[in-house]
Structure 1
């Protein structure tokens, strides 16, 4: 870099840098200008404040005027006692993530990209909390809700680019001490959330947090078994959990693991018990997350969404929520529905009720006449 500055001279070097930012600005402005002028609305919710059940709404009004956009969070609920309040910097980053992932991914992402975007974030709300509000989890939740709300608003402006909601995660982590005195910490990454569908493809069966857009890899089971005192019993796709659609949402997984020694368990089951993978463009919602902890010799119990607990050896069973579907499920190709039935991610019964596809008794083919008649009743 020093050699480049020396070759070009400081003034020319900074002109080139400005050119990079200007180029990104122009690309994003062209994308925004292609949207119809208007005002669009998006909203997503959390069902807890980390301690008690409650409804917390993130509301956004998105106004497009020419090549500029205003993202206004007026009406979003106040900051909370729990640790999911967002800093202003996190809110800006989450808005930029929602916008950049919606448009052409070849648009450069730098400071110039967002010159034409104005963000209004009321102070004291959950997306611009004031001291002493705790913010430990804000880069995951409430960032997730911000992205989904922005996606919903943008989907009204350009439905073809809409992405159904990704579901929330079920993972926590466990920590313990080995016989030699060293400590270990293991995240249950295999209980991550599930992507929603788009116009082009079904949602992936499982992926990392929405805020990483898949950039957080899920480690293989064998590596974890070699590194920690854990044994994996199941890790498979769930049946009848994906949001139905022309493109169905991700299936989510059933995850069962035995932690073989005493440990401290930290629960982070944001996706537990409520729908988070909402469908778009007439697509259906994904299923809810379920979770049980079964300490050896004790009764099985449903953990809290957040909390810390010391346990002896115990089994975790987590069934992660499904991603949202995209488009009318009755428009899905019956052959693709049959494939899902054969793959045990859609049951014969759900093929009929959710997709209007009648599978023959042997489960190997589609009854086309019965399917046409069933879909004709919709």
Structure 2
């Protein structure tokens, strides 16, 4: 086949990306769990016959950046035993290239004329897979065996026949087997549709033609990444982020990333990162690899294709036994949020001096919990309290998004609709609104975050994981301010109050739960923000009148509020003097 021209290459990438999105539409419309049908906590991707990810256009970035490791494990485990009609399943982070146990990965080989030409895959966070706490997140876990069912790469479907014994074994290990049954079938269906589309795409060009397209797409990503890093000043740059709690007691731990930029690639060295911890906030190597790809590409620009071609020019050194390369049987369920969040922050902070205009302020960590129990009909449910999400950090030219989900989703996680939330669970949502003064001040303001109040009508179990409820977890850049902290509070029907632990599993009687998420950091000096924009924030309830003056130096006056320009100039000069002296 002749070399593919740039236009055909771009069209080929778009066609593969569309197949990924089609798989996502199938999944969202056929899955049973609200975590999929409403919140889209799954990701679809396409791999080459050699196990390299060539498209990950639908879903959540932290899911798919390490998908190539899972495909490699499949190819190693079933060499010579991969046939048309087969479909494979895996989740284990230590032996199967998984991020963490809740993320089941379905991998379907695609054949053309009896020859393997690629894989269509779906990685999806299951509602429940057993373990010591409902909903897969167990803050009490001290080893991976407390976190749920471990699955190496297995052949779930053999030549078109579902392996019923394996299917029953998997369902038996879930508190919500009816949901898991439907969700697994939706995953299989989505990859089947994807496989048919890839087959149809390959038919006119043949298997070798498709393989050539994949190779060129990987080359394109490699060249795009190289072009981006060659605009940066060569050298070694260091960034870090912290943990202050291991789910059992306060600690002082850090993730440190030293990034060496050269003309031919990037080294990301995590030497100096703290040892793995007792709690479930350790990272598998696949998850760390995914977070590194996320951090680099999100900083350098969305024009870089997100496929394994980038990793040809990235070397990751993660000390074994550390937070970023834990040794079994360390628990890792929180890996896709924390420490992935800290890895991304460390990379952003390291790269910021190389290209300040590309800097992104930090995002705050979550304050919410999981709730599980039975409703009036006796149906068992697992609910993620996602109505109160943190704010995003600001970037040059744009305020941070007020509510966008965790940093590792980058907007790929859809927040639940209130009406659907109340229909799906025995809850009444009494409040959901933006937080006033939640975002860090800056020329571009950090996102505010949201606060939600939910009445839970029956006794239920709660899995608390308030990572954002301790110290401030965002950061400002280029003079911007960090945001504050989040909170989680409870009131019982008798009027008494209860302050839940940051981490833990408890069963509680009917209550009203209030979660307030922290905001994102600001970009640039807040004294450069036009006073009219600050006034609009006050009128919108995003910033209080008091903080307009205290944080931005904008003095508002009058019954209808307007900017006192003379008083604002004086106030800003005063604040600048105080800031420069400290």
Question: Structure 2 length normalisation: TM-score?
Answer: 0.63
User: Where does structure 1 lack aligned partners over 5 or more consecutive residues?
Assistant: none
Q: 2:517 — aligned with what? A: 320
Aligned pair in 2 of structure 1 residues 180, 232: CA closer, same or farther (>3 Å)?
A: closer
Q: In the aligned structure 2, how far is the partner of 1:77 from the partner of 1:363? A: 54
From 125, 143, 152, the counterpart of 2:349: 152
CA-to-aligned-CA distance 1:72-97 (integer Å, 9 cap, x gap): 11101000110111011100000000
Asked if residue 98 in structure 1 is aligned to residue 98 in structure 2, the reply is no
Secondary structure of 2:429's partner?
Answer: strand
Q: Contact 2:368/2:488 (CA < 8 Å) preserved in 1?
A: no
Q: In the aligned structure 1, how far is the partner of 2:288 from the partner of 2:199? A: 35
CA-to-aligned-CA distance 1:239-272 (integer Å, 9 cap, x gap): 2221000001011122111101111111121111
Per-residue deviation at 1:332?
Answer: 0.3
Q: Contact 1:28/1:114 (CA < 8 Å) preserved in 2?
A: no
Q: In the aligned structure 2, how far is the partner of 1:36 from the partner of 1:60? A: 17
Asked if residue 215 in structure 1 is aligned to residue 408 in structure 2, the reply is no
CA-to-aligned-CA distance 1:173-214 (integer Å, 9 cap, x gap): 111113433212221111222211111211111111111101
Q: In the aligned structure 1, how far is the partner of 2:280 from the partner of 2:390? A: 20
Q: Contact 1:21/1:112 (CA < 8 Å) preserved in 2?
A: yes
Aligned pair in 2 of structure 1 residues 296, 119: CA closer, same or farther (>3 Å)?
A: same
Q: In the aligned structure 2, how far is the partner of 1:208 from the partner of 1:251? A: 12
Secondary structure of 1:78's partner?
Answer: coil
From 556, 562, 570, the counterpart of 1:365: 562
Per-residue deviation at 1:303?
Answer: 1.2
Secondary structure of 2:222's partner?
Answer: helix
Aligned pair in 2 of structure 1 residues 64, 263: CA closer, same or farther (>3 Å)?
A: same
Q: 1:337 — aligned with what? A: 534
Asked if residue 141 in structure 1 is aligned to residue 346 in structure 2, the reply is no
From 437, 441, 448, the counterpart of 1:244: 441
Q: Contact 2:446/2:520 (CA < 8 Å) preserved in 1?
A: yes
Q: Using the TM superposition, name which of 84-93 and 356-365 deviates more.
A: 356-365
CA-to-aligned-CA distance 1:208-252 (integer Å, 9 cap, x gap): 111110110111111111222111111111122210000010111
Q: 2:58 — aligned with what? A: none
Q: 1:49 — aligned with what? A: 246
- Mark the structure with the bigger radius of gyration: 2
Asked if residue 203 in structure 1 is aligned to residue 362 in structure 2, the reply is no
Q: Contact 1:274/1:289 (CA < 8 Å) preserved in 2?
A: no
Per-residue deviation at 1:99?
Answer: 0.8
Q: Contact 1:167/1:193 (CA < 8 Å) preserved in 2?
A: yes
Asked if residue 296 in structure 1 is aligned to residue 493 in structure 2, the reply is yes
Per-residue deviation at 1:19?
Answer: 1.2
Q: 1:190 — aligned with what? A: 387
Aligned pair in 2 of structure 1 residues 313, 28: CA closer, same or farther (>3 Å)?
A: same
From 250, 259, 268, the counterpart of 2:465: 268
Asked if residue 16 in structure 1 is aligned to residue 213 in structure 2, the reply is yes
Asked if residue 346 in structure 1 is aligned to residue 549 in structure 2, the reply is no
Q: In the aligned structure 1, how far is the partner of 2:446 from the partner of 2:568? A: 22
Q: 1:119 — aligned with what? A: 316
Secondary structure of 1:242's partner?
Answer: coil
Aligned pair in 2 of structure 1 residues 117, 296: CA closer, same or farther (>3 Å)?
A: same
Q: Contact 2:392/2:404 (CA < 8 Å) preserved in 1?
A: yes
Secondary structure of 1:310's partner?
Answer: strand
Asked if residue 173 in structure 1 is aligned to residue 354 in structure 2, the reply is no
Per-residue deviation at 1:8?
Answer: 3.9
Per-residue deviation at 1:282?
Answer: 0.9
Aligned pair in 2 of structure 1 residues 40, 361: CA closer, same or farther (>3 Å)?
A: same
CA-to-aligned-CA distance 1:281-306 (integer Å, 9 cap, x gap): 11001011122112222631221122
Q: Using the TM superposition, name which of 246-255 and 356-365 deviates more.
A: 356-365
Q: 1:82 — aligned with what? A: 279
Secondary structure of 2:371's partner?
Answer: strand
Q: In the aligned structure 1, how far is the partner of 2:392 from the partner of 2:369? A: 19
Q: In the aligned structure 1, how far is the partner of 2:201 from the partner of 2:472? A: 53
Q: Contact 1:295/1:311 (CA < 8 Å) preserved in 2?
A: no
Higher helix share: 2
Q: 2:480 — aligned with what? A: 283
CA-to-aligned-CA distance 1:356-377 (integer Å, 9 cap, x gap): 1111142521001111122223
Aligned pair in 2 of structure 1 residues 13, 181: CA closer, same or farther (>3 Å)?
A: closer
Q: Using the TM superposition, name which of 299-308 and 1-10 deviates more.
A: 1-10
Q: 2:270 — aligned with what? A: 73
Aligned pair in 2 of structure 1 residues 344, 3: CA closer, same or farther (>3 Å)?
A: closer
